A and B are shown apart, each in its own frame.
Chain A
Amino acid sequence: MKRRFHPSVVTANDLFEGHPVWRTADGRWSATIREAEVLRDPETAEARLAAAASDAARVVGPYLAEVATAPEGPAPLHFREVFRVRGPAHASDRLDHLPGE
């Protein structure tokens, strides 16, 4: 049984700093999920993921993560992705982490 495709973004970790990054429509890697390109069909998603895989000089381990879409941009769905966006509970870690917010 094939699962229905859900809007997704390409995400990975930055090679140098290790933090989560999201792929934008113009092929950049942003530290903010809201800037990510939302992929709405499986073919485009696979193509973007393949493009990301050839970006090994900048990122590690790209994969597709499902998102909720809203006018202000995509937001993580799965709780693991929520934690990746939010950072750990440790107070000092959390404050330091949130990039660009």
Chain B
Amino acid sequence: MYAYSDFDESFVRNRVRQFRDQVERRIDGRLSEDEFKPLRLMNGLYLQLHAYMLRVAIPYGTLDARQMRQLATISERWDRGYGHFTTRQNIQFNWPKLRDVPDMLDALADVGMHAIQTSGNCVRNVTSDHFAGAAADEIADPRPYAELLRQWSSDHPEFQYLPRKFKIAITGATADRAVTRAHDIGLRVVARDGAVGFEVSVGGGLGRTPMIGRVIRDFLPEADLVPYVEAVLGVYNQLGRRDNKYKARIKIAVHEMGLDTIRDLVEARFAETRSEFPGAEAALAEIRAAFRAPDFRAGGTAIPSGSPAFRAWTDTNLAPHRREDHAIVTVSLKTPGQQPGDASADQMRAIADLAETYGYDEIRISHRQNVILPHVRKDDLPAVFEALAAAGLAAANAGLISDIIACPGMDYCALATARSIPVAQEIAVLFETLDLAHEVGPLRLNVSGCINACGHHHVADIGILGLERAGVETYQITLGGDPTERIAIGERTGPGFAADEIVGAVERIVTAYLELRDSADETFAEAYRRLGLAPFQKALYSEESRENAA
């Protein structure tokens, strides 16, 4: 995988030195809080409800064993021995102290990592398909492009003070596992007449005004990627609204000015930026060389037999690898009852060991807040399963109702309007207790603790949004959202539910699905597309169904 060049190394070390200096200037008053805040945010440092929070970039969700071990060490030395993996493929530490943060950043730099631009009104960590480089349906590995964009956007002098944050996602496969159309820029690798390029969408996003990105270019040649994205950002920086932070994302500019106007402006600017990056091609070639596939060891093409627990796990937690003798393993961070996406330092080390022994030293983080071992020989699956089970990481629930995306919510986040973690925990435990998750089958359930939608509730089969109404937590439900290439924003069912009603409400929806599906093969998403909202609304709100559930 990509290893830091000398330039990367010196760039990141410089940023750490700079941040150390910025912290001292904040403390002695040379920088006001208003001036310091954007600087600390650009280095991943938030101030949350109970403490600072450091968000560390895991570029395009890729890391190796040494890096994972260093995250474990950092969590023990400067935090509380665990980390939280996020829907943007990053990791967050919930308890750093201001003066320790430069040391944490130095420790990250020791293993080629950083926290640059994981927050703030700048181009954020570029996200990607968590099966990149391994998936059977891949046209091209998207990570070299993502790394090129990381380099382009890092400390870009023109784009550090944008109207609002800017998120780019890229996928190289036919299935969209990176939710590209919910990003400010979504890139989908496409091949045309033997040439590789991108379908480019703009103006997607979740948050308080969810919008699906619209295609601004159906084919952008590979060589034009950087200048085209530079043109989009230039137009946005000039025209994005700065009078209202809720209307400042590019999706609002696209909505208010129209896609055609934005496209014309971008193309006009692109005509000028196009020749400004003669070095990009060489940079991409260097990067690509660093993303060579590992030297795969051949093995059997069948999954070895094993215990019922092993079989249950292989049923849910494996995905097709491009080699028949390998599989992609999802390590669930969703054992029912745990905080979704959290891993202890010991668990991080266990995953690092497995990646080294069985996984060609490659690890990925998925936007569903799980860890991926992208290349595991099928022959090695029993050993991997045993080791995961010993580390409490063998929950057989990837893609099931207990594999819940949940933002930190009001347990940690300063922006939250309600808790999300306890809701996710209760739902996961309920379906575990009822032993229903496997019978229900693939079902995406996502929980956000505020309108900003970090929990991706809009694009879930069952989405839950926690809000405050009249001084208490209230949970709204949306149904029928879809994060894939069929992307859809969920529909609201109706009035919200109190904290002590929401789990029962979810149970009524699932019970209705089990009754309504035409066979065990019809997934929730398929049943919803066939039936629409009405029967689920009835199950949720009619007196009869409430009484039956009670």
A–B contact with Cβ pairs below 8 Å: the answer is yes
Chain B's closest residue to A59 (CB) is B33
User: Would you call B308 an interface residue if the criterion is a C-beta within 8 Å of the partner chain's C-beta atoms?
Assistant: no
Interface residues in A74-97 by Cβ distance below 8 A to B read 78-80, 83-84, 87-90, 92-93, 96-97
A88 and B411 contact, Cβ closer than 8 Å, known pairs A18-B50, A20-B49: yes
Interface residues in B337-369 by Cβ distance below 8 A to A read 339, 342
Of A9-17, A22-30, A36-44, which binds chain B? A9-17
| 5 A-B pairs with least C-beta separation | A88-B411, A18-B51, A18-B52, A16-B98, A89-B411
B412/A18 in contact, CB under 8 A:
no
The proximity string for B residues 257-276 relative to A, scoring 1 for CB distances below 8 Å and 0 otherwise, is 00000000000000000000
B27/A57 in contact, CB under 8 A:
yes
The proximity string for B residues 84-96 relative to A, scoring 1 for CB distances below 8 Å and 0 otherwise, is 0000000000111
Report B336 CB to chain A, min CB distance, Å. 15
Cβ contact of A84, chosen from B49, B342, B419, B421, cutoff 8 A: B49
Q: How far is the CA of A15 from the CA of B97 in the complex (A)?
A: 9
Contacts of B412 in A (CB 8 A): 88
Report B386 CB to chain A, min CB distance, Å. 27
User: Would you call A19 an interface residue if the criterion is a C-beta within 8 Å of the partner chain's C-beta atoms?
Assistant: yes
Contacts of B95 in A (CB 8 A): 93
Contacts of A61 in B (CB 8 A): 33, 47
User: Would you call A56 an interface residue if the criterion is a C-beta within 8 Å of the partner chain's C-beta atoms?
Assistant: yes
A18/B98 in contact, CB under 8 A:
yes
A16/B411 in contact, CB under 8 A:
no
Cβ contact of A89, chosen from B33, B47, B96, B419, cutoff 8 A: B419
User: Would you call B208 an interface residue if the criterion is a C-beta within 8 Å of the partner chain's C-beta atoms?
Assistant: no
Contacts of A84 in B (CB 8 A): 49-50
Cβ contact of A56, chosen from B32, B410, B468, cutoff 8 A: B32
User: Would you call A49 an interface residue if the criterion is a C-beta within 8 Å of the partner chain's C-beta atoms?
Assistant: no
B471/A18 in contact, CB under 8 A:
no
Contacts of B339 in A (CB 8 A): 90
Q: Which residues of A pack against B, CB within 8 Å?
A: 13, 15-20, 56-57, 60-61, 78-80, 83-84, 87-90, 92-93, 96-97
Q: How far is the CA of A18 from the CA of B94 in the complex (A)?
A: 10
A87 and B50 contact, Cβ closer than 8 Å, known pairs A16-B99, A79-B472: yes
User: Would you call B80 an interface residue if the criterion is a C-beta within 8 Å of the partner chain's C-beta atoms?
Assistant: yes
Contacts of B52 in A (CB 8 A): 18
The proximity string for B residues 74-115 relative to A, scoring 1 for CB distances below 8 Å and 0 otherwise, is 000000110000000000001111110000000000000000
User: Would you call B473 an interface residue if the criterion is a C-beta within 8 Å of the partner chain's C-beta atoms?
Assistant: yes
Cβ contact of B80, chosen from A17, A19, A96, cutoff 8 A: A96
User: Would you call B22 an interface residue if the criterion is a C-beta within 8 Å of the partner chain's C-beta atoms?
Assistant: no
Contacts of B48 in A (CB 8 A): 18
A97/B50 in contact, CB under 8 A:
yes
Interface residues in B39-70 by Cβ distance below 8 A to A read 47-52
A17/B49 in contact, CB under 8 A:
no
Cβ contact of A92, chosen from B49, B80, B97, B419, cutoff 8 A: B80
Contacts of A90 in B (CB 8 A): 339, 342, 411, 421
Q: How far is the CA of A50 from the CA of B304 in the complex (A)?
A: 69
Chain A's closest residue to B471 (CB) is A78
Q: How far is the CA of A22 from the CA of B95 in the complex (A)?
A: 19
A17 and B410 contact, Cβ closer than 8 Å, known pairs A57-B29, A61-B47: no
A18 and B421 contact, Cβ closer than 8 Å, known pairs A57-B29, A80-B410, A92-B80: no
Q: How far is the CA of A26 from the CA of B396 in the complex (A)?
A: 57
Report B76 CB to chain A, min CB distance, Å. 13
B80/A79 in contact, CB under 8 A:
no
Q: How far is the CA of A93 from the CA of B472 in the complex (A)?
A: 24
Q: How far is the CA of A53 from the CA of B47 in the complex (A)?
A: 17
Report B253 CB to chain A, min CB distance, Å. 30
Report B298 CB to chain A, min CB distance, Å. 44
Q: How far is the CA of A97 from the CA of B49 in the complex (A)?
A: 12
Q: How far is the CA of A60 from the CA of B48 in the complex (A)?
A: 11
For the A-B complex with A90-B421, A93-B80 known, give 5 more contacts whose Cβ atoms are closer than 8 Å: A17-B51, A79-B473, A88-B49, A88-B94, A96-B80
Report B475 CB to chain A, min CB distance, Å. 14
A83/B422 in contact, CB under 8 A:
no
Cβ contact of B97, chosen from A18, A56, A57, A80, cutoff 8 A: A18
- The contact sample of 18 A-B pairs, CB cut-off 8 A, is A15-B27, A16-B27, A17-B97, A17-B98, A18-B50, A56-B33, A60-B47, A61-B33, A61-B47, A79-B410, A80-B410, A83-B410, A83-B411, A84-B50, A88-B50, A89-B421, A90-B339, A93-B94
Contacts of B98 in A (CB 8 A): 15-18
Q: How far is the CA of A61 from the CA of B36 in the complex (A)?
A: 13
Contacts of A60 in B (CB 8 A): 33, 47
Contacts of B472 in A (CB 8 A): 79
Report B213 CB to chain A, min CB distance, Å. 33
Q: How far is the CA of A88 from the CA of B49 in the complex (A)?
A: 9
Q: How far is the CA of A78 from the CA of B27 in the complex (A)?
A: 31
Interface residues in B295-346 by Cβ distance below 8 A to A read 339, 342
Q: How far is the CA of A13 from the CA of B339 in the complex (A)?
A: 25
Chain B's closest residue to A77 (CB) is B471
Contacts of B81 in A (CB 8 A): 92
Report A92 CB to chain B, min CB distance, Å. 6
A19 and B50 contact, Cβ closer than 8 Å, known pairs A60-B33, A79-B473, A90-B411: yes
Report A68 CB to chain B, min CB distance, Å. 13
Contacts of B468 in A (CB 8 A): 79-80
Contacts of B419 in A (CB 8 A): 83, 89
Contacts of B33 in A (CB 8 A): 56, 60-61
Q: Which of B26, B47, B99 is the most central at the interface, judged by chain A CB atoms within 10 Å of its CB?
A: B47
Report B503 CB to chain A, min CB distance, Å. 15
Contacts of A79 in B (CB 8 A): 410, 468, 471-473
Chain B's closest residue to A87 (CB) is B50
Interface residues in B456-509 by Cβ distance below 8 A to A read 468, 471-473
B422/A89 in contact, CB under 8 A:
yes
